[in-house]
Structure 1
Amino acid sequence: MTAHIELRLLPWTGPDGKPCYLSTDDTNSRLSRLADTTEAIQLDLADDLVAHALAVLDDDQTEMETLRDLSTDLLEALRDTLRVATSRGQRLPLPQPTTQGGDNNPQLPAAAFG
């Protein structure tokens, strides 16, 4: 049986704005570690930006240009965060099939979903 290699969505785009992917089964390769580090930095920057946005929006004297700049920065951070979430979601292990019946396959009534 051969190893199944998935493409990893990287946390940056190419010069033309298209997504970049990594094909490797080595999660500790140099490029994998660089992608992990870049994702962590992007998420930390997004967290800092949220705190900054709250302060800017709390100031009644904030000028329109500042709000435009903030909106641009928030959009970039959201785009990066969504790319990280997509990449990490694609790398989650698939659920293992369970046998029919038993406690491994609980069922909820439709009313449980509102």
Structure 2
Amino acid sequence: MTAHNELRLLPWSGPEGKPCFLSTDDGAGFLSRLADTTEASQLSTGAEVLKRAVNVLADGEVAPEELRPVMAELIGSLRDVLRVAESRGHRLPAQDSAEDSDDEEGPHLPAAAFG
């Protein structure tokens, strides 16, 4: 299986908010496992934040100042989940062009089409 990109986008930022990457063939190494655990935690946190936001919005009498912290949490969680999705998308196996035309019907979009 060949990945689209040899570098793995890690689920945390470096100095000045710049992305961090890992170059390894060992998906079971310490940093790979740490990244997997961090991604799982970020996805779980995102689900929890979404539930809280839904509950806040369901309250028809929520004050605007109560929305600000919920929005801040949602923004942070969305940023994390998008980074996880981007990282995982880059690690999907590349398909041969013959597979593209013979297998599934319908449009085939590159990962870049999803942001």
Q: TM-score range by the shorter chain?
A: 0.7 to 0.9
Distance 2:51 2:80 in 1: 17
Q: Output one character per residue of 1:58-78: Cα deviation in whole Å (capped at 9) or x when no partner.
A: 112212222011111101100
Give 1:107 shift.
Answer: 6.3
Structure-2-length-normalised TM-score: 0.80
Distance 2:74 2:58 in 1: 16
Cα distance 1:107–1:27, how it changes in 2: closer, same or farther (>3 A)?
closer
Find runs of 4+ consecutive structure 1 residues off by over 3 angstroms: 105-108
Q: Which residue of 1 aligns with 2:98?
A: 98
Distance 1:12 1:70 in 2: 21
User: What is the aligned length?
Assistant: 101
Distance 2:37 2:105 in 1: 40
Q: How does 1:37-52 map to 2 (within 5 A)?
A: 37-52=37-52
Cα distance 1:20–1:60, how it changes in 2: closer, same or farther (>3 A)?
same
Structure-1-length-normalised TM-score: 0.81
Distance 1:72 1:48 in 2: 14
Moved more, 42-51 or 5-14: 5-14
Gaps of 5+ in 2: 107-115
Bigger Cα Rg: 1
Distance 1:48 1:63 in 2: 21
State the Cα RMSD in Å: 1.9
Distance 1:93 1:19 in 2: 22
Q: Which residue of 1 aligns with 2:80?
A: 80
Give 1:88 shift.
Answer: 0.0
Higher helix share: 2
Give 1:98 shift.
Answer: 1.4
Distance 1:47 1:41 in 2: 10
Give the counterpart letter for 2:31 in structure 1: L
User: Which structure would you say has the larger RCO, counting Cα contacts within 8 Å and 6 or more residues apart?
Assistant: 2
Give the counterpart letter for 1:34 in structure 2: L
Q: Which residue of 2 aligns with 1:58?
A: 58
Give the secondary-structure state (helix, strand or coil) at the position aligned to 1:16: helix
Distance 1:106 1:55 in 2: 39
